Structure 1
Amino acid sequence: MMTILVRLGQKVNVTQFLFKKSNQVHSSLSEIPYGPFNSSLQRRWKKLQETAKTRMQEQRTRDHKLDKLVLRLRQLNRALSLQQIMSTRKRGPYVSLQIISRWKNVLSLNIPPGSFIRKYPHIFEVFALPPRRNMCCKVTKKMRDLIREEESIVRELELENVVRLKKILMMSVNGKLNIHALRLSRRELGLPIDFRESILSKYSDDFVLIDLETVGLVESDKKGLRGVAEVEKWREKEFREKWLSEFETKYSFPINFPTGFSFEPGFRERLKNWQRLPYVKPYDRTESVRIRTNKGNDQFEKRVVGVLHEFLCLTVSKMIEVQQLVHFRKGLGIEVNLREVILKHPGIFYISTKGNAETVFLREGYIGWCLAEPNSVDTARRKMLELILLGVRNTKQLRTRTENEIIIDQNELENEENVNTNETENDWGTYAGGWAIPILDTFDANE
């Protein structure tokens, strides 16, 4: 075999020499970042792995009505977050526009806070605060009345909240849940702000506080109606009214595909077989169901679907964000990829990716963008949502208010008179001057 002579007098094999040089060139090319000067070089790109997140961004059937609902509810939640911050102010339920301009990241806004306030004059009211006429903002009376209405309804439904929490604990693996998970999903479950004291501590015959962040169930009512899942009530109704066979309805779920859903070959047959598949129901607790089974077990997957279905039925609006649902995975024993299960059953669940979040809907609970069976809490929230949908429309009465109507009550100014005029307090300390620029006057009316 041919050899070549190196500077030091050593003989090296030609093929080994060329192979070594090619490896050096390949390693040097891999270190060079892709740019305009090396765009002609051939590079091998790693094939993207198909996951639940990639499938959500692909061309799947969308429910545009539910997507629009998510966007509007996101705006409403931001308005309620701003109202919650205003309500904790020491001087009164109002705040200077200059301070609000710093809360863009706190409120997760993609526009200036001043523009956000100006978009919803039915929710926020801008007024000049004497004596220096600083521009401030507060929540309108109509919005405050709706917030109080929702709070009063939640208080009246105290016993229903007790039953709701007992059902969630009955579905858990060992009858225990993290209070932090309940706190994050408080609005979705229709619980009051102080549910720890007003429900968990008050009803000591039903709940026990194991530690500061763990609540347990004293006694589960498996034989009563509280242990019956909502899907079982639907099966009984289908069996009685439609005269279907027990074999068809015993383990089935209501299926509602979105408009324009395309069926792949063999999809209907697989769905029919899956509907007939037996599984362990959400409130049936056995030692064999430790929600840890081999991947691909259809019975285990159907149990997960049953738990998710029942949990969404217990929510007020039949929807919840995936990030909030993840906190219940350990307690409910769902040790699987939630997105995989949700995307695999588009006739039962719908996941929306609008509003920088992933929101799961129970498809049977909605007709269009409204609940099929409205409740009092959701009705109160829909009234708030109507103010969001109004936007800047029907604001003629708002513009014709007198000065006496836009000045805040004298009770809210009692603390203001004792404040030093050279300094104004905010959440991060004080700043000199105490002045506020009339931000809203600088924006275009078409924004």
Structure 2
Amino acid sequence: MIFLKSLRCNEISFGPFNSFSQRRWKKPVVSAQTRLETRTRDSKLDKLVTHIHKLKTILNIHQLMSQRKRGPFVSVQLMSRWRNIVGLNVGMGAFLHKYPHVFELFPHPIRRNLCCKITRRMRDLIDEEEKIVKNYEHELVQRIKKLLMMSKNGTLHVHALRLIRRELGLPQDFRDSILRKYSKDFRLVDLEIVELVDRDESLAAAEVEKWREKEYIDKWLSKFETSNAFPNNFPTGFKIERGYREKLKNWQRLPYLKPYESKEVVRVRTCGGIERFEKRAVGIMHELLSLTVEKMLEVERLAHFRKDFAIEVNVREMLLKHPGIFYISTKGSAQTVFLREAYSKGCLVMANPIYVVRRKMLDLILLGCRNTRSLEYSEESKEEINGLVFRTNGGGRRDGDWVIPILDSYDQNVLDNQGEINDSKQPFDGCESGRSQIVCFEDESS
């Protein structure tokens, strides 16, 4: 009897219709962090982000040096205070000595402490980029107008534009040189919001429309297949799960509100509203990346456009859902999103003049300590810096690959006005002789 009672209890407690013993299977929630960790990595784009991070650090150092009004060269002892500002994890002296094609180190002729200035080749490239930006002023105006046409109310925050100024190719003083100058196109509201005066319907065509027209003509596809589709270029090693192709095919055919259409935003609760709403956000991010110089942006800075573009979805999660359209790299201190169709083997497919100049800057950086013989002064070369004439001749003293300049003539008043120069010499570490690998840039051979 005891055995039967225990058996009945077991049947009741573990029965198939007992609500207390049933365990319902729940589908695991895939978060954005999980997608980021399990995504297929693109090593070439990751390596490109590492190189671009070095270039941004060097340009930040140059900007700090250019703010010094007392001369084109700065003492390394003063520059060591900028380590936290530019985000260096090594000593300033060691960092400067790694890139002799960018930074020129020399002892001060009187005070004998170590000083630094930008090399002539790097200065020429920086000046060349500034000239190109001035020549392409009309195109920059069109970029800003297209951004304003994508916004919900035709307005954008100037602070958001300032955050992606370099990515859009805008000059540093774009508020005065572009927004104030073209008053017929832009109107400044409270000095922090720029408003579009009139829409230009000739610019209301997204970049993806060119790809759709090409697919329609070249591959003879139907309008139903191409009118709402996006190019998908999956990275090498990407695993396509079961049912993914069918979901992607249905998503490509799904109609959505395109970036430049000034209609009412689709509601989420309508039929297919969530998918259409997310696809509208994909279209806006695709067009925003297409308007940049290098087809890349930091993910954190995209959040400043969510309110103006009426994007209510998680931007990072949305980008990770479409690995064939976007790629997020976690190299460096910030996450960077790329437009996959714009890159092939780590290089931009359709290069522009600003990108070409920045690639030349990367070439100088990736040279490292190689080919330093080309940096030597000729026997009778002279260079004047604020009244100081430096000359190297047969009596010039050499220190490794560096040629120490000899003072020819000077003005004591100029020397006294240099300021921030200490008599103590700033030691620096030796240069790393490791050969860095150049990814799809010119002058790859040493």
TM-score when normalising by structure 2: 0.82
Compared with structure 1, are the counterparts of its residues 155 and 293 closer, same or farther at alpha carbon in structure 2 (3 Å cutoff)?
Answer: farther
Distance 2:156 2:303 in 1: 13
Distance 2:55 2:101 in 1: 12
Q: For residue 144 of structure 1, what is the aligned residue in structure 2?
A: 123
Distance 1:231 1:213 in 2: 31
In the TM superposition, what is the alpha-carbon distance from 1:110 to its structure 2 partner? 1.2
Q: Once the two structures are superposed, what CA deviation does each residue of 1:35-63 show, in whole Å capped at 9, x if it has no partner?
A: xxxxxxxxxxxxx985313431x232000
Q: For residue 261 of structure 1, what is the aligned residue in structure 2?
A: 238
Question: Which letter maps to 2:377?
Answer: R
Q: For residue 378 of structure 1, what is the aligned residue in structure 2?
A: 355
Aligned pairs (5 A) from 1:315-394: 315-394=292-371
In the TM superposition, what is the alpha-carbon distance from 1:270 to its structure 2 partner? 0.5
In the TM superposition, what is the alpha-carbon distance from 1:408 to its structure 2 partner? 5.3
Q: What is the SS of the residue equivalent to 1:342?
A: helix
Distance 2:411 2:53 in 1: 34
In the TM superposition, what is the alpha-carbon distance from 1:412 to its structure 2 partner? 6.5
Compared with structure 1, are the counterparts of its residues 375 and 293 closer, same or farther at alpha carbon in structure 2 (3 Å cutoff)?
Answer: farther
Cα contact 1:96–1:134 (8 A) shared by 2:
yes
The answer on 1:84 being equivalent to 2:60 is no
From 413, 417, 430, the equivalent of 1:417 is 413
In the TM superposition, what is the alpha-carbon distance from 1:95 to its structure 2 partner? 0.9
Distance 1:444 1:357 in 2: 27
In the TM superposition, what is the alpha-carbon distance from 1:102 to its structure 2 partner? 1.9
Question: Which letter maps to 2:328?
Answer: I
In the TM superposition, what is the alpha-carbon distance from 1:424 to its structure 2 partner? 4.2
Distance 1:234 1:411 in 2: 57
Distance 1:405 1:81 in 2: 30
Cα contact 2:98–2:369 (8 A) shared by 1:
yes
Aligned-CA RMSD value? 2.5
Distance 2:67 2:225 in 1: 55
Q: For residue 219 of structure 2, what is the aligned residue in structure 1?
A: 242
In the TM superposition, what is the alpha-carbon distance from 1:211 to its structure 2 partner? 1.4
| Unpaired segments ≥5 residues, structure 2 | 1-27, 390-409, 435-446
Higher mean alpha-carbon deviation, 408-417 vs 102-111, is at 408-417
Compared with structure 1, are the counterparts of its residues 417 and 293 closer, same or farther at alpha carbon in structure 2 (3 Å cutoff)?
Answer: farther
Q: What is the SS of the residue equivalent to 2:53?
A: helix
Q: What is the SS of the residue equivalent to 1:361?
A: strand
Distance 1:271 1:415 in 2: 72
Q: Once the two structures are superposed, what CA deviation does each residue of 1:331-385 show, in whole Å capped at 9, x if it has no partner?
A: 1111221110100000000000001110010000011111110001100110001
Q: For residue 96 of structure 1, what is the aligned residue in structure 2?
A: 75
From 132, 143, 146, the equivalent of 1:153 is 132
The answer on 1:206 being equivalent to 2:182 is no
From 287, 290, 298, the equivalent of 1:310 is 287
Distance 1:373 1:101 in 2: 39
TM-score when normalising by structure 1: 0.81
Q: Once the two structures are superposed, what CA deviation does each residue of 1:202-247 show, in whole Å capped at 9, x if it has no partner?
A: 111111111110000001123x2x0000111211111011101111
In the TM superposition, what is the alpha-carbon distance from 1:397 to its structure 2 partner? 2.5
Q: Once the two structures are superposed, what CA deviation does each residue of 1:389-441 show, in whole Å capped at 9, x if it has no partner?
A: 1111111232x4368758652446989735659x943xxxxxxx82242323x
Cα contact 2:99–2:368 (8 A) shared by 1:
yes
In the TM superposition, what is the alpha-carbon distance from 1:97 to its structure 2 partner? 0.8
In the TM superposition, what is the alpha-carbon distance from 1:282 to its structure 2 partner? 0.2
Distance 2:290 2:278 in 1: 18
Compared with structure 1, are the counterparts of its residues 96 and 302 closer, same or farther at alpha carbon in structure 2 (3 Å cutoff)?
Answer: same
Compared with structure 1, are the counterparts of its residues 444 and 139 closer, same or farther at alpha carbon in structure 2 (3 Å cutoff)?
Answer: closer
Compared with structure 1, are the counterparts of its residues 127 and 336 closer, same or farther at alpha carbon in structure 2 (3 Å cutoff)?
Answer: same
Q: What is the SS of the residue equivalent to 2:82?
A: coil
Distance 1:385 1:131 in 2: 34
Cα contact 2:155–2:308 (8 A) shared by 1:
yes
In the TM superposition, what is the alpha-carbon distance from 1:268 to its structure 2 partner? 0.8
Higher mean alpha-carbon deviation, 267-276 vs 125-134, is at 125-134
From 423, 429, 437, the equivalent of 1:435 is 423
| Unpaired segments ≥5 residues, structure 1 | 1-47, 426-432
Aligned residues: 387
